[in-house]
Amino acid sequence: MKIFTTKQIAAIDQFTIQQEPIASIDLMERAALQIANWLIHHLSNERKIIFFAGPGNNGGDALAVARIMAEHDFICEVFLVDFGKPLQAEPAENWHRLKEQGKVKLGRIESQESIPAVPDDAVVVDGLFGSGLSRKLDGLPLQIAAALNASRALVVAIDIPSGLFGEDNSNNDLGAVIQADYTLTLQFPKLSFFFPEHEALLGRWEVLPIGLHPSVISETETPFHFLTAEEISDKIPVRKKFSHKGTYGHALLIAGSYGKVGAALLASKACLRSGVGLLTAHIPHSAYQIIQTAVPEAMCSIDASDLMFTEFSDLQQFSAVGAGPGLGVKPNTRKALLRLLEASPAKLVLDADALNILAMHPEWLPLLPENSILTPHPKEFERLVGPSGDSYSGLQSQLAFSQKYKVIVVLKGAHTRITSPDGRVFFNTTGNPGMATAGSGDVLTGIVLGLLAQDFEPLDAARVAVYAHGLAGDLATVQCDELSLIASDIIENLGEAFFQIRK
Ligand SMILES: NC(=O)C1=CN([C@@H]2O[C@H](COP(=O)(O)OP(=O)(O)OC[C@H]3O[C@@H](n4cnc5c(N)ncnc54)[C@H](O)[C@@H]3O)[C@@H](O)[C@H]2O)[C@@H](O)CC1
Ligand SMILES: Nc1ncnc2c1ncn2[C@@H]1O[C@H](COP(=O)(O)OP(=O)(O)O)[C@@H](O)[C@H]1O
Ligand SMILES: [K+]
């Protein structure tokens, strides 16, 4: 699904108004009904709701929601923030309608002295600013945000917490932004919702559809997307009746060193659970019995070294190569990785220590075959590209890296993001903090490798693997608390995850 900039969303709003056609006041009412509906289903009408409405359409939404909630017998109080400027047309109309209705106590905030005290048990609806925010908060809005952030009331933000920009917050003062417990965003999530430093400002966020025009949505181009099962389900091939293991590729996994054999084991199992026809695990000699016993489905290629990766033989027979989990970064392993890069496997996924070695030898980066997949966690990514400040700047560096080296970068975390050499970005929507546990990255490498070996386009392999890995992690928490989740549980649930994606 597409993620649009706030500018694009405003244009899509306008197009909808003209083409549907619908009057802007009615579109606002549609948005307000969605928000009110959510509030009615989530709040008790014994809690007072205090609305803070700004001068624009975000304020207009808040005023319309207050009127609807009052019709449903909620106790509402509205404060219009008065900047001394006349209200825009739709908020003015909604202010008028509220006055006419006469069920809601109305007030104005003109100065710091008129900011009301908010009781701890109240609910605040934040309609100060939405996607029309033009500069970081200062003056009266800043004082209101500070007062709300100091209160213990539950805060529900309309569209976006006031003070947060939809995209670039690298020059914003995040301490000044209203901290919402819930953000009810209209039609599309904003780019900034996918960045970890905004979690405490957004709380839990939900997207409420307001029926913006489908044709303009499909025609408006954007590099930003989030992953959904619908968009990747057709990438998973149906297995043909007369197919055989040769049909589904032969993967080579180079993983494990003395003390880190588990990484090879987890990646091997995950690879096999992802549909690959054949898997060869290249492992140090000391790992042989462990792997053969724990993963009898895998073949083994044994390194001359008892302890680590130092050599490999002909790559011809393999349809994809994966390297990195548990390899270590000893000099002989580094040399072997250089030879692997020089051998230029057609399909390659690199993780963990393979990336750490690349960070030690950035001069090898140009050797990466085109469309290789790199799966760093944030620390590995930082070692590769250096520190990059906030997430928005980090996204720019990730994109620049993908484009410069023509590789796919999978930056792992909550909302893992995938960048491709053509400049597209995909945020994942599956997964949970239970997956922040040893070995879950190794599992992802195994899945990517399994899909690559089956001839998935590299970008599809990355997208399907990331989504399925997160979904398997989510399924693992159905019967098990996130706290207890271990990487093997993700593998256990991969079958169900693929099943659900295919549906
Ligand atoms: N355009 C539409 O048809 C729809 C828009 N909707 C709502 O409209 C919002 C966007 O509305 P607007 O574009 O009117 O923008 P906003 O309501 O977000 O804010 C714009 C107003 O705030 C002022 N402003 C912005 N930043 C400020 C700052 N830091 N300090 C002081 N004043 C500041 C601007 O001068 C302008 O008056 C969305 O977030 C959404 O809530 C919904 O009603 C759905 C339909
Ligand atoms: N809070 C989280 N929410 C969702 N997914 C997460 C979270 N934390 C970690 N993960 C996922 O778990 C995996 C962790 O990978 P990584 O850090 O490489 O682990 P390891 O090196 O132990 O194998 C990644 O795929 C990441 O996206
Ligand atoms: K808001």
Burial class (CB in 10 A: 0-12, 13-18, 19+), 287: buried
Does 58 belong to an annotated binding site?
Answer: yes
Does 477 belong to an annotated binding site?
Answer: no
Domain of 324?
A: 229-243+269-274+320-502
Per-residue pLDDT, 84? 82
* One domain for residues 132 and 165: yes
Ligand 1, atom nearest to 210 Cα: 44
Does 263 belong to an annotated binding site?
Answer: yes
Q: Which two tokens stand for residue 133?
A: 């925010």
Residues in contact with 222: Cβ distance below 8 Å, sequence separation at least 6, in sequence order: 2, 3, 4, 5, 8
E strand or H helix that includes residue 154: strand 154-158
Q: Distance between CA atoms of 372 and 370, rounded to whole angstroms?
A: 6
Q: Does some domain include residue 371? A: yes
* One domain for residues 187 and 236: no
Q: Quick one: which ligand is closest to 416's CA?
A: 2
Cα end-to-end distance, the chain, whole Å: 18
* One domain for residues 189 and 238: no
Q: Tell me the best of 349, 430, 440, 449 to mutate to test the pocket of ligand 2, counting ligand atoms within 8 Å of each CB and taking the most.
A: 440
Q: Does some domain include residue 287? A: no
Residue of 248, 159, 252, 152 whose CA lies nearest to 210: 159
User: Which DSSP string corresponds to 316-378?
Assistant: TT-SEEEE-TT----HHHHHHHHHHHHH--SSEEE-HHHHHHHHH-GGGGGGSPTT-EE---H
Atom 45 (ligand 1) nearest CA:
28
225: which strand partners? 2, 426
Q: Which two tokens stand for residue 426?
A: 């995909």
Per-residue pLDDT, 388? 87
* One domain for residues 488 and 418: yes
Residues in contact with 44: Cβ distance below 8 Å, sequence separation at least 6, in sequence order: none
Atom 6 (ligand 1) nearest CA:
57
* One domain for residues 23 and 154: yes
* One domain for residues 173 and 200: yes
Q: Give me the torsion for CA of 439, 444, 445, 446, rounded to 10°.
A: 90
Q: Which two tokens stand for residue 350?
A: 């690199």
Q: Does some domain include residue 296? A: no
Per-residue pLDDT, 356? 98
- Cα 56 to averaged position of ligand 1 atoms, centre (Å): 4
Q: Does some domain include residue 396? A: yes
* One domain for residues 473 and 324: yes
- Cα 127 to averaged position of ligand 3 atoms, centre (Å): 4
E strand or H helix that includes residue 419: strand 417-419
**Ligand 2 binding site (Cβ under 6 Å of any ligand atom):** 352, 377, 412-414, 416, 431-433, 435-436, 438-442, 444, 469
* One domain for residues 207 and 115: yes
Per-residue pLDDT, 85? 81
Does 332 belong to an annotated binding site?
Answer: no
Residues in contact with 100: Cβ distance below 8 Å, sequence separation at least 6, in sequence order: none
Q: Does some domain include residue 305? A: no
Q: Does some domain include residue 236? A: yes
Per-residue pLDDT, 494? 98
Ligand 2, atom nearest to 487 Cα: 23
CATH number of the domain enclosing 99: 3.40.50.10260
Per-residue pLDDT, 101? 98
Residue of 330, 324, 281, 321 whose CA lies nearest to 412: 324
Atom 2 (ligand 1) nearest CA:
13
Does 134 belong to an annotated binding site?
Answer: yes
Ligand 1, atom nearest to 64 Cα: 43
Domain count, the chain: 2
- Cα 352 to averaged position of ligand 2 atoms, centre (Å): 12
Ligand 1, atom nearest to 163 Cα: 29
The predicted complex's ipTM stands at 0.90
Per-residue pLDDT, 83? 81
* One domain for residues 233 and 199: no
DSSP 280: E
E strand or H helix that includes residue 300: strand 299-302
Q: For the stretch 458-490, what's the b/e string if a residue is b when 16 or more beta carbons lie within 10 angstroms of its beta carbon?
A: bbbbbbbbbbbbbbbbbbbbeeeeeeebbbbbb
Angle (CA) 220 226 227, round 5°? 120
Q: Does some domain include residue 381? A: yes
pLDDT per residue of the chain (503 residues) written in tens, 0 to 9: 999 999 999 999 999 999 999 999 999 999 999 999 999 999 999 999 999 999 999 999 999 999 999 999 999 999 999 988 889 999 999 999 999 999 999 999 999 999 999 999 999 999 999 999 999 999 999 999 999 999 999 999 999 999 999 999 999 999 999 999 999 999 999 999 999 999 999 999 999 999 999 999 999 999 999 999 999 999 999 999 999 999 999 999 999 999 999 999 999 999 999 999 999 999 999 999 999 999 999 999 999 999 999 999 899 999 999 999 999 999 999 999 999 999 999 999 999 999 999 999 999 999 999 999 999 999 999 999 999 899 999 999 999 999 999 999 999 999 999 999 999 999 999 999 999 999 999 999 999 999 999 999 999 999 999 999 999 999 999 989 999 999 999 999 999 999 999 98
Predicted model pTM: 0.95
Do residues 103 and 71 lie in contact, with contact meaning Cβ atoms separated by under 8 Å?
yes
Angle (CA) 85 90 95, round 5°? 75
- Cα 34 to averaged position of ligand 3 atoms, centre (Å): 15
Per-residue pLDDT, 2? 97
Q: Residue for token digits 């808040």?
A: 62
Do residues 356 and 447 lie in contact, with contact meaning Cβ atoms separated by under 8 Å?
no
Phi (first) and psi of residue 184, to 5 degrees:
-105, 100
Per-residue pLDDT, 53? 98
Q: Distance between CA atoms of 125 and 61, rounded to whole angstroms?
A: 10
